[in-house]
Amino acid sequence: MAHRLLRDHDADGWERSDFPIICESCLGDNPYVRMTRADYDKECKICTRPFTVFRWRPGRDARYKKTEICQTCSKLKNVCQVCLLDLEYGLPVQVRDTALSISSHDAIPRSDVNREYFAEEHDRRARAGFDYESSYGKVRPSDTILKLQRTTPYYKRNRAHICSFYVRGECIRGAECPYRHEMPETGELSQQNIKDRYYGVNDPVALKLLNKAGEMPSLEPPEDESIRTLYVGGLDKRVTEQDLRDNFYAHGEIESIKMVLDKACAFVTYTTREGAEKAAEELSNKLVIKGLRLKLMWGKPQAPKPESETSEGARQQAAVAHSGMLPRAVISQQQNQFQPSGSQDQPPPMHYFNIPPPPQQERTFYPSMDPQRMGALVPSQDGENKTGPEKPQEGQRYTYQAMPPPLHGQYPHQLYPSYGYMPPMPPYQHYPPYHSAMPPPSQAPPTAQLYQQSGTPMPPAIVNAPPASRPSVSTPSGSAPSGAPLASAASGSTLQ
């Protein structure tokens, strides 16, 4: 202690502060957080100047976190002192700078004395009232960055570190070991360097995110000109019809809004096609209501509900197709025939897109009766509720009923698609969660199959969508191209 008292802190440029600059995720979910403050406790990882270290526990199952870089460095880049991600968007520095085309690369020197001098100068000026960092507030958010940003706090990063003894098989602490007993993730993402992350250079996470951003498809209008309905997915009970109206009215006159709460989705129909297109363009990948990121896709006309006029013949056909377990090729022909005729001249009141009609057709009641469950790749009627409960963990994620635009014209797919489809690959059922901005990969295998049959070329959006970091090529959900050959293999001889 004595040596600290003898130093003149101001003269040396040591930093003292009263509260950390941190993001919500790092602060944690507990509103009652106890934080210790230690002046000049550690040196900043970037500029190596002593600074005030704050230490707290961000929640019950979290490790203790402490500030790693000083406030000067964090203000220069507008990042959290702990995780070094942007305070507003939660993105790595490199991503934010590329997306907003900011380049302060050259401004911050990186070599020893230069860096210390720069940091001190900046600090001194900031304290004297010269306002540097407001430049980050003035930049208008771009489309890309709005698509990429994190909307909810991410607490997984607050978990305890991996127990290195466990990795070697030597952890003798057993139950009282506070570290995680899991195997560490390997791969390029695990080699990160705090300086690289801070300066926005050569950051593997940022590169991955940027690649993904480049491949995010834009929402193309479907070829069928009369579709004026947008599908909104990922709803919650917090989002009301009024919220949807508020968000969607700006782009065109809303004809109707139909909310389907049990499927966590809604359908917004415009009076004009242009309104729908405009809305799609403006809101695609950017729709965030009450902090909930919503998925926006084009609505797909569907085998209508029994109340609807044109339905009868279509439904009978569908019923036959479904319960008769016809080969896929036949069914798709049927679908192609009936679809163009049946779908487009339905007057509003609403198309109930992909909502299961009440069970009036012959249904399969046992998994063994259901072709999808047993491995045949039959694109079924929407009433596939059986497969839903069987794959509950994916059901929520894959309740994207709206087809991506190029699939327009095909028969609507079941509600809980995909992994009912791929019993040949049970070990690959467990997927890491996808970023919600991605087009539903679940659509990829079924669409792949359909494309196999009908010979339609695979839409580029779907093909490119899954990121390269999928665990293995053979994972069915992983990449559509591999999904296609697998699907075709699984579907047997009736195809091709």
Partner 1 sequence: MTGQTMPKVKTNRVKYPEGWELIESTLRELQAKMREAENDPHEGKRKCETLWPIFKIVHQKSRYIFYLYHRRKEISKELYEFCLDQGYADRNLIAKWKKPGYERLCCLRCMQPRDHNFATACVCRVPKHLREEKVIECVHCGCKGCASGD
Quick count: other Cβ atoms within 10 Å of Cβ 371?
23
Q: Which is nearer to partner 1, 118 or 165 (CB)?
A: 165
What's the closest the beta carbon of residue 30 comes to partner 1, in angstroms? Answer: 12
Q: Which is nearer to partner 1, 64 or 117 (CB)?
A: 64
What's the closest the beta carbon of residue 406 comes to partner 1, in angstroms? Answer: 51
Any contact of residue 185 with partner 1 (CB under 8 A)? no
Residues 260 and 241: beta-carbon distance below 8 Å = no
Q: Choose, by CB under 8 A, the member of 176, 185, 262, 345 that binds partner 1.
A: 176
Q: Choose, by CB under 8 A, the member of 10, 12, 36, 494 that binds partner 1.
A: 36
Any contact of residue 345 with partner 1 (CB under 8 A)? no
Q: Which is nearer to partner 1, 37 or 208 (CB)?
A: 37
What's the closest the beta carbon of residue 91 comes to partner 1, in angstroms? Answer: 33
Contact set for partner 1, span 429-488 (CB under 8 A): none
Any contact of residue 60 with partner 1 (CB under 8 A)? yes
What's the closest the beta carbon of residue 68 comes to partner 1, in angstroms? Answer: 19
Binding segment (CB under 8 A) for partner 1, from list 129-137, 172-180, 236-244, 317-325:
172-180
Q: Which is nearer to partner 1, 36 or 193 (CB)?
A: 36
Q: Which is nearer to partner 1, 106 or 176 (CB)?
A: 176
Q: Which is nearer to partner 1, 34 or 237 (CB)?
A: 34
What's the closest the beta carbon of residue 174 comes to partner 1, in angstroms? Answer: 8
Q: Which is nearer to partner 1, 3 or 34 (CB)?
A: 34
Q: Choose, by CB under 8 A, the member of 5, 175, 183, 473 that binds partner 1.
A: 175
Binding segment (CB under 8 A) for partner 1, from list 174-182, 288-296, 342-350, 443-451:
174-182
Any contact of residue 34 with partner 1 (CB under 8 A)? yes
Any contact of residue 392 with partner 1 (CB under 8 A)? no
Q: Which is nearer to partner 1, 18 or 176 (CB)?
A: 176
Site residues (vs partner 1, CB under 8 A): 34, 36, 60, 174-176
